[in-house]
Amino acid sequence: MTLDGEALERLRKRALAGGAEKYHAANAAKGKLFARERVALLVDEGSFVEDGLYANALADGLPADGVVTGQATVDGRPVCLMANDSTVKAGSWGARTVEKIIRIIERAYTTGVPMIYLVDSAGARITDQVDLFPGRRGAGKIFWNQVRASGSIPQACALFGPSAAGGAYIPAFCDVVAMVEGNASMYLGSDRMVEMVTGEKTTLEAMGGAAVHTRESGVGHFLCKTEVEALDTIKRYLSYLPDNWTQAPPATTPAAAPSNVDLAGLVPASERQAFDMRRYARGLLDEGSFFEIQALWAKELTIGFGRLAGETVGVVANNSMFKGGVLFVDSADKATRFIQLCDAFNVPLLFLSDVPGFMVGTAVEKEGIIRHGAKMITAVAEATVPKICVVVRKAYGAGLYAMAGPGFEPDATIALPTAKIAVMGAEAAVNAVYANKIAAIADPEERAAFVAAKRTEYERDIDIARLASELVVDAVVEPHELRDELIRRLAAARGKERHFSKRRHGVTPV
């Protein structure tokens, strides 16, 4: 049978319209856009080339089989994308849906361009499971492809609605997930299923909503107020990264650092006084370039991209405003993944250290602080991209190693004149070594004098001039010299040979 122009137009119109009007209206009532509107907002006008528009065109009520896929440009750069259409069977995956998604990821991977996932889906279409679930080109192949593409091409997800069961793994395999507050959710079992299996009464929002995943689980990276904000966030994310792992990140026109930030004044002399390292990073980087990732989760560690003289850098920074900047299991995980991301896409790493060390105590031992810390230290060791450790205020204990200290092949360890590097802070050290002697001194004044003397002795030992003279640090610079020092050092490190170890891969502590 051939298609005449009219019949083709009818098929096209039907496919482009999506599902039943009642589902469009329900989405609109929730402030949700139609999948095709999302695509139009994301890509450069007129650049979208769609595949598989007629998937399941002969079936009733399954336009495009519930997913839009194709290639386009975003800010002039090529991308591949998929967008679930939740007006068609709640965006669930039929056999053609799955095949379309697999094909577009394969295309992104083979052409070396970023893959963008606009997700709003009920997961596997339960009614069609034999066709879509178990086979060689079944839903599992989507994840296999995502894992293969990970670190080869950027993969970014904007999540607008549910992402149920298997569907929740698409975001999970992406580098980053932007979630729209109020509508986006990710969960392995729906609220109905949870009640059936465990008896727990919950809601999609309480169990897997945007607030939960961006503040508590860390599976989401950006909490966005609107769909447009989520799409803009994905665009901004991609602007820092190359199209694929073989390329350098795109540079922009260099901008100066903000003129109104006094870096020296930001860091209090007393270690007991907290300061916001995000302000420090903003003051150091090109004005307006700092793009924080996972800003709401594990806040004791800040991560994000920025630019120095127009070149992308990845920032890993301790923030004493939260939990004193101590590293916990979640902050170690947050750092690990970001370091791997930067290393995969040739983004130099800048560590801004003000770290008292890893958390101690029963609670964190039960949570596996040792293996989480070891995981972060593994990522730091394995990262061969240029990396510079700046000791802004302190680097104590294994925190020094986690922040790319001298033993971790940094391209430089730079200290500010007031910085301290030590196995632990003075107070803890004096207590660790002299606890018995201190307890034996009955007179309180004598005891205090003993402690003060030992403290002075200890601080003399870790004096930064001494550490510079022993070649522990490569440079000691004034705060106002730091930015230029970093720009010069990163430029010098850019062409370095990158190799870590002769092997297939390590056995990472996870």
Ligand X SMILES: CCC(=O)SCCNC(=O)CCNC(=O)[C@H](O)C(C)(C)COP(=O)(O)OP(=O)(O)OC[C@H]1O[C@@H](n2cnc3c(N)ncnc32)[C@H](O)[C@@H]1OP(=O)(O)O
Give the footprint of ligand X on this chain (CB under 6 A): 89-90, 92, 122-127, 139, 162, 164-167, 190
Query: Which CA distances in Å does 458 have to 326, 391, 450?
Result: 22, 19, 12
Give min distance, CB of 488 to ligand X, in A. Answer: 51
Give min distance, CB of 240 to ligand X, in A. Answer: 32
Q: Residue 43 in 3-state DSSP? A: coil
Q: Which residues pair with 186 in a beta bridge?
A: 163
Give min distance, CB of 190 to ligand X, in A. Answer: 4
Tell me which residue has its CB nearest to ligand X: 166
Closer residue to ligand X, CB minimum distance, 92 or 413? 92
Give min distance, CB of 403 to ligand X, in A. Answer: 40
Return the axis-axis angle of helices 369-382 and 329-344, rounded to nearest 10°: 20
Closer residue to ligand X, CB minimum distance, 6 or 60? 60
Token pair in block for residue 112: 């070396």
Q: Which candidate, 366, 325, 382, places its Cα nearest to that of 151? A: 382
Q: What is the per-residue burial (b if ≥16 Cβ within 10 Å, else e) of 324-342?
A: bbbbbbbbbbbbbbbbbbb
Closer residue to ligand X, CB minimum distance, 191 or 411? 191
Closer residue to ligand X, CB minimum distance, 33 or 165? 165
Q: What is the DSSP letter of 213?
A: I
Closer residue to ligand X, CB minimum distance, 134 or 407? 134
Q: Which candidate, 104, 109, 234, 242, places its Cα nearest to that of 176? A: 234
Closer residue to ligand X, CB minimum distance, 92 or 353? 92
Element spanning 74, H or E: strand 67-74
8 Å CB contact between 415 and 391: yes
8 Å CB contact between 351 and 338: no
d(Cα 432, Cα 340) in Å, to the nearest integer? 36
Closer residue to ligand X, CB minimum distance, 20 or 264? 20
Element spanning 420, H or E: strand 420-422
Token pair in block for residue 204: 């999609």
State the burial class of residue 497 (Cβ atoms within 10 Å of its Cβ: 0-12, 13-18, 19+): exposed
d(Cα 179, Cα 224) in Å, to the nearest integer? 6
d(Cα 406, Cα 383) in Å, to the nearest integer? 14
Q: Residue 161 in 3-state DSSP? A: strand
Give min distance, CB of 167 to ligand X, in A. Answer: 6
Give min distance, CB of 165 to ligand X, in A. Answer: 3
Give min distance, CB of 212 to ligand X, in A. Answer: 16
- Determine phi and psi for 499, rounding to 5 degrees: -155, 140
Q: What is the DSSP letter of 242?
A: -
Give min distance, CB of 17 to ligand X, in A. Answer: 15
Closer residue to ligand X, CB minimum distance, 160 or 458? 160
Closer residue to ligand X, CB minimum distance, 66 or 399? 66
Closer residue to ligand X, CB minimum distance, 164 or 392? 164
Give min distance, CB of 28 to ligand X, in A. Answer: 13
